[in-house]
Structures are given as C-alpha cells and as structure tokens.
Amino acid sequence: MFEFLDAYPWLLPVVIFFGRICDVTLGTLRIIFVSKGERKKAPVVGFFEVLIWVFIISQIFSHANSIMAYVAFAGGYACGNYIGMLVENKIAFGFVMLRVYTNKNGQQLSQILHQNNFGSTCIRGKGAILDVDVIETVITRKAQQQVKTIIDDFDPDAFYVIEDIRSKQKGIFAMHSSAGHPRQGK
C-alpha cells in the first residue's frame, strides 16, 4: 500500500515526522477531552490518533535500518507535543473559575463583570492583613483574557487564581442568545 516510500526513500523520514506530529497532537486533544468528560469526542479523536500511529510504527518496523526514520519519529513526537499545546490553547476548550481577591469594592467588580455578560459571586473575606472581597466567576477559557483585562483595569493590584473546572451547572455564563442577553448555562 505504501510502496511509494520504497521508491522515494528520502520521503520516509518526512512522512514519519509529520505523521508523528499529527498523532501526538491528536493525543494531546484526546487527553483534554477525556479530562473534561467529553465522552463522544475523545473516542473519535483516539481512533484517528491510533490509526496514524499504527501506520507510522509499521513504517518504522519496515525500515528498521533507517536511522533517519528513528530521528524523524523522535522529532515528530517532540514537535507534536509543542503543536498540541498550541492547538489546545487556540481552541481553549472548557471552563475555568477565576477567583479574585481585591481590597476594593468587590460589588463594583461584580457589576462590571455583569455588564460584560459574565456572572459572578462576591463574598466578603478576612485576609491575613486586611479584609478583602472575593469575586468568583466561571467563564469559558476563550473569555479568560477579556476577564483578566477587566480585573486589571478595575484593580491592578488584585490577586487572582485561575482553576480549570471539569463541568458547570446552572448559573449565568457569557453565552449570548440571539438577543444578546446572557442566558442560563447548563
């Protein structure tokens, strides 16, 4: 089926390198989907990941005397990890919780977030030195930079943590309906 690789031996490392990039990138995405509980996406991605891997490993075994095939395999793996992280950041799949600690009036920050269609909860807390307001908001990973900008504009000295969450249920999330109003998320 892949006799053309015997006819063009210089093409073998190239095919292995790019095939390995594809299968490792898919592996990165599959792990993300598994960790987020995406039961339909993970198996589909896993199918294509393993299909590519089987093709690549069969070429390695068929050309066991090619050191360039080994180098291409390792290089493709390394590049695949890097590209997988880039792709994962680009699609920004899932949700995060931003927890903001501020010495300023947290109700004002909650109102600003609400005006930008982000739900939030404000809690009064006692810090080690001062009283603080704690604002929590659950957002899509794609909205993360926008919300960080809002926080930094409100209080450049605010401390915040970002936690990855597996799922969310009910509440107000920045998913716009056709009328442009926030709606209940599930």
> For residue 186, what pLDDT band results from cuts at 50, 70 and 90?
very low
Range with lowest mean pLDDT among 34-38, 114-118, 147-151: 34-38
Position 183 pLDDT exceeds 90: no
Q: Buried b vs exposed e over 106-141: b needs ≥16 C-beta within 10 Å?
A: beebbebbeeebbbbebeeeeeeeeebbbbbbbbbb
- Answer whether 100's CB lies under 8 Å from 153's CB: no
pLDDT at 77: 95
Stretch 56-75: mean pLDDT: 87
pLDDT in tens, 76-112: 999 999 999 999 888 877 889 999 999 999 999 999 9
> For residue 176, what pLDDT band results from cuts at 50, 70 and 90?
very low
- Answer whether 184's CB lies under 8 Å from 171's CB: yes
Beta-carbon contacts of 77 under 8 Å, excluding residues fewer than 6 positions away, are: 20, 24
**pTM of model > 0.75:** no
Position 58 pLDDT exceeds 50: yes
Position 134 pLDDT exceeds 90: yes
Position 181 pLDDT exceeds 50: no
pLDDT in tens, 147-172: 999 999 999 999 999 998 876 666 66
Stretch 72-76: mean pLDDT: 94
pLDDT at 182: 43
Map out the domains of the chain as residue ranges. Answer: 4-91, 95-184
For domain 95-184, the question of CATH label 3.30.70.120 is answered with yes
